[in-house]
A and B are shown apart, each in its own frame.
Chain A
Amino acid sequence: MNWLDICALEEIPQLGSRVINGPKGDIALFRTGADEVFALDDRCPHKGGPLSQGIIYGKQVACPLHNWQIQLESGEAVAPDVGCAHSYPVRVEDGRVQLALDKVRESA
C-alpha cells in the first residue's frame, strides 16, 4: 500500500466532501457525521454524476443528478439500483487524512 497524505480532517466539512485529481480522474473524499472518511471515484455508476456534489447522510451519498443512493464504504448503489463506484482505502492518522491507491486497479 502506498499511503498518500491528503489534508487535515477539518479541511473536509462534516457531511461534506472534497475532490482530488486522481490518476484516472477525480476522486471524492467524504466525511460523515461521525467523522469517518471514505474515498470513491467521483463518478456515479448510473451516468457518471459527480458524487462529491451530493448530499451525504449516514454512510451514504445521494447523487446530485438523478438521486441514486451510493454507499460510501463499498461504493455500491443502494437497491433497487445496481452499480458500483470504485472505493479506495482511507485512514485518519493524527488528524491527517491519508489515502491509498491500489495497484490492482491499475493493472485491471
Chain B
Amino acid sequence: MQKLKLVMVGNGMAGVRTLEELLKLTPDMYDITVFGAEPHPNYNRILLSPVLAGEQNFDDIILNPLDWYADNGITLHTGRKIVEIDRRNCKVIADDGTEAEYDRLLLATGSNPFMLPIPGNDLEGVIGYRDIADTQQMMDTAKTHKHAVVIGGGLLGLEAANGLMMRGMDVTVVHIGEWLMERQLDRNAGELLQQSLEERGLNFLLPQFTSELVDDGQGRVKTVRFKDGTEVPADLVVMAAGIRPNTELAESAGLACNRGILVSDTLQTFDPKIYAIGECASHRGIAYGLVAPLFEQAKVCANHLAMLGYGRYEGSVTSTKLKVTGVDLFSAGDFMGDEDSEQITLSDPIGGVYKKLVIRDNVLVGACMYGDTADGGWYFRMIKNNQNVSEIRDHLMFGENAIGDTGHQGQNKAANMPDDMEVCGCNGVCKGTIVKTIQEHGLFSVDDVKQHTKAGSSCGSCVGLVEQIVLNTVGGAADVKPKSDRPVCGCTDLNHGQVRKAIRDNHLTSIPEAMAFMEWRTPNGCATCRPAINYYLISTWPGEAKDDPQSRFINERAHANIQKDGTYSVVPRMWGGVTNASELRRIADVADKYQVPMVKVTGGQRIDLLGIKKEDLPSVWKDLDMPSGHAYGKSIRTVKTCVGSEFCRFGTQNSTQMGIDLEHALFNMWSPHKVKLAVSGCPRNCAESGIKDIGIIGVDSGWELYIGGNGGIKTEAGEFFVKVKTEDEVMEYSLAFLQLYREEAFYLERTVHYLHRVGMEHIKQGVLADPDRRKALHERLLFSLSFEQDPWKERIEKEELKQEFRRIAVQQLDEVNA
C-alpha cells in the first residue's frame, strides 16, 4: 500500500507527542515530514526555567534527539519556517522555498509571547521568554549587564525573574494585577508568594502600568517608564505579559481562527485534512497554555490520524506549579470559587502555609496551596474525577495521609527531602536518582519512573511520594491520572473498568478471544494484563471461562509461595486457626522427611513449611493430607479467630465456630486481591478484626461487621458496615459483600481501595438496601465456588496436572560435560 503523507508544522512538545502516539498506534501508515522554525530537535520547553536558573543544561532538556527522527523514518527540517499553506494543491512552502505535499497536515505552531504595544518595544534588549534563543540571550546579557525588568507577574515572569536573579542580575518585576499570579492564585497565596520572593531578593512594583521603554541613544533599552511618570533602569526587559496563539500561518490559509485555530473534539480544523494541536489551537473556546492538556489532545489527535476514529477530546482541568526551587505553590481547577461554592481554608502566615479548597455540591472543584503542596496531586485527581468528598470532608484539609491509600505521601514532603534520602525502600532508590532520571529521560508519569528506576514498582507504598517528585520536577506537565483511569498496561488503551465491561457485555470467555475482541496490541499480552484478564474471565463467567495457568503468577500456578532461592513454602489450611494432634504430627513428619529448613508459625494462625523443592510439592501435600491454605493467592487467605464464648470468660459469641464456618464457606474463592477475615468474640477484639477485609465482632446482642480493614502496607481500620443478629446473617452479608467486591473491584485492588473508590454508600446500596439483591449476590458467590476444588487435592489426583512439577530428565548431559 502506498503510504500517506503527513506533514507537521512546528516541531514542539505537542506536535512531537502526537507523532509518538501515532507511531505507537500505527508505525507504517505515514511518511512523516516535520518543519520546525527553531534550529533544534524537540526539547522540553518547560525546563527552560531550570536552565535559566543554572540548574540544568540545554543538553539535558532534549526530548527527542535527531536519532529519534531518523530511527522512525521522519524527515526533519530544522530552522525552516513554513510561510504558506497551499490548500488547493495540498502542500506547504517554507521560507527557503522547500515544499512538501501532504495528505494530512498537522499544525502545532505553539504561541508567541505577547509584546506590549508600547513605544520602544522593538529596542535591543527587549525580548519575550519562549525558546532556547531567548534563554541564551538572557544568560548572555546577565554576564554583561546589571538591571533587568520583567513585565508580568505570572508563572513565566516569575520563573524568568528568578532565573535572572540567580545569574546575578538586579531584577524588578512589574505587574498590573493586585497580586502575583492572579490567574492561578488567590490574594492570600499571592501575597505569601511575593513575601517569600522578596526575601530572596526580587523587587516588585504592583499594581503598576508600563507606558514606554526608553532608548539609550544607541538603540538599546535604558529605562522603563510608567504611567505615573516614575522610571526604573533596565538593560534587559523580558515581556512575560501573556502569550498569543500562533495563528498567522493558519489565518493566511483561510482557516477559521479566533484566539487560536478553531478545532473540533477530534482536533480537526474546518479543513478536515488539517489538524491543529497544542497552544495554537482553540478548543471549545479555550487555548491551553500548559503541557498536560496538550498531551491529552495529542492522544486523541493520533487516534484520528491513525484512522481509528473513536477518541474524543472534551477539554481538560489544569493545574499549575511554579518551578522556582524552594517555593512550593500549587493550584488547580476553580480555586477562586463563587457564591455557590463553599471554601475550606487553612492559613498560617508565620509558618508560611496557606491552603484553600473549593467545594461545590459535595465535589472538590478547586485547590490553591502555598508552602505545603504535598497533597497537590491528590487534590488534583479528585478534581479531575469529580469525586464526591462528603464522606471525607472532615479530613480533606489534612491531606491524603489522613485518609488515602498511598502510604508515606504527606509525611515526607517530597520537596524537602534531601537527594540522598531513600524513597523506595523495596528497591533502594533515592530521591536524587529519581529526579535525575526524570530529567535525563524526559519522563512525565509515575509509570515511566517505575520503569526506569523501579521506584514504586514493588510494594507500591511510595507511589504517592514518587508522584509528588514527578510533580515537583516537571510541574503541570506531570501525567497524574488515577489508577482507575489508566490503561491496564502498555498492550491496550482500555482501563480495568472498560476491560471488565467488554468481557461481561460481549460474553467473552477466553483470553485469546478477549484480546482479539479488544484489539490488544500484543500477540499474547504481558505479565500485567494476562493475570487481570484471567481473573475477570473466571469471575464473570464461572463454569464457562477456563482458568489459564500460564496467565497466573507462579505462586498461583504452583500453589505455593516462591522464595528468593527458587524453593517454595507450603502453608496448609487450619480452619479458623484450630488444629489437632494428628495434623501436627503429620506436619512434623513432613518436616523430617523432606528436611524442611524452617517451620514457622505465620501471622495468620497457621504453620508454614519453608524451603521445599518444587518437585516435592505434590508429595508434600499428599503426606500432609491437609487442604491448601491459599497463602499464595489473590484468594481467600485466612479467617483468624479468637477462643470466644466456649472458653473465654468475656466471650459473648462463639467466634471460633463462626470463623471456621466462614472459612469453609469461602474455601477456594479467587478474588481481585487477597481477602482476610477475622472473628472476635467480644469488643476486646483479640482476633484483630479491625484490620481485616471483613472483621466481625461478637457483641451481646449479635455481631458487628466491619469492612475494608487492612494491616499491610498502610494500616487502615475497617469501617463499620452493619450489625446483624444471627450466624446465618453474618454468613449471608459477608458473602454478599465479597461477591460485590469480586464483581466490581479491579484486579489487585484490595477491599479498602475498592471501598475508597466507590464509597461506602454504594456498597450499602448493593448489599444492605435490598434483601433480594443481597441474596442474589450470595447465590452468585456460591455458584462460582461450586466449580472450584482444593487445588492440592486435584494435583495429587490428576496425573496431567503434575507436569508443572516435573523436570525433564536428560541423561546424556552429564556425559557431555565429562
Contact = CB atoms under 8 A, between A and B. Distances in A.
Interface in B446-466: 451-454, 457-458
Contacts of A82: none
B659 to A, nearest CB: 32
A49 B810 contact: no
A57 B526 contact: yes
Contacts of A33: 523-524
B524 A54 contact: no
Contacts of A7: 808
Interface stretch (B49-57, B137-145, B558-566, B596-604): B558-566
A92 interface: no
B24 to A, nearest CB: 16
A53 B457 CA distance: 20
Given A34-B523, A55-B531, A64-B562, A21 B803 contact: no
Contacts of A18: 807-808
A20 B550 contact: no
A54 B562 contact: no
The size class of the interface chain A forms with chain B is 35 or more
Interface in B540-579: 549-554, 557-558, 562, 564-566
B813 A23 contact: yes
A40 interface: no
Interface in A18-51: 18-23, 29, 33-34, 47-50
Nearest to A15: B550
Given A19-B807, A56-B550, A65 B562 contact: yes
A54 B527 CA distance: 9
A80 B817 contact: no
Contacts of B812: 4
B522 interface: yes
A7 B810 CA distance: 9
A22 B522 contact: no
B558 A57 contact: no
B222 interface: no
A80 B452 contact: yes
B808 A19 contact: yes
Interface in B562-620: 562, 564-566
A95 interface: no
B512 to A, nearest CB: 9
Interface residues of B, number: 37
Contact of B527 (A34, A65, A67): A67
Contacts, number: 96
Contact of A55 (B458, B522, B550): B550
Contacts of A22: 813
Contacts of A23: 813-814, 816-817
B453, B558, B817, most chain A CB atoms within 10 A: B817
B260 interface: no
B525 interface: yes
Nearest to B551: A55
B530 interface: yes
Contacts of A54: 527, 554
Given A20-B813, A23-B817, A55-B527, A65 B564 contact: yes
A39 B471 CA distance: 43
A34 B557 CA distance: 21
Contacts of B552: 55
Contacts of A69: 527
A66 B458 contact: yes
B516 to A, nearest CB: 13
B810 A21 contact: yes
A65 B452 CA distance: 18
B460 to A, nearest CB: 13
Interface string A53-86: 1111110101011110100000000001000000
Given A20-B813, A47-B564, A64 B807 contact: no
Contacts of B817: 23, 106
Given A11-B803, A18-B808, A53 B523 contact: no
Given A49-B566, A101-B816, A20 B810 contact: yes
A27 to B, nearest CB: 9
A101 B813 contact: yes
A11 B816 contact: no
12 contacts: A4-B810, A7-B808, A11-B803, A11-B808, A13-B803, A18-B807, A20-B808, A21-B807, A22-B813, A53-B557, A55-B553, A57-B524
Given A53-B557, A53-B558, A53-B566, 7 more contacts: A15-B551, A20-B810, A49-B566, A55-B552, A57-B522, A101-B816, A106-B817
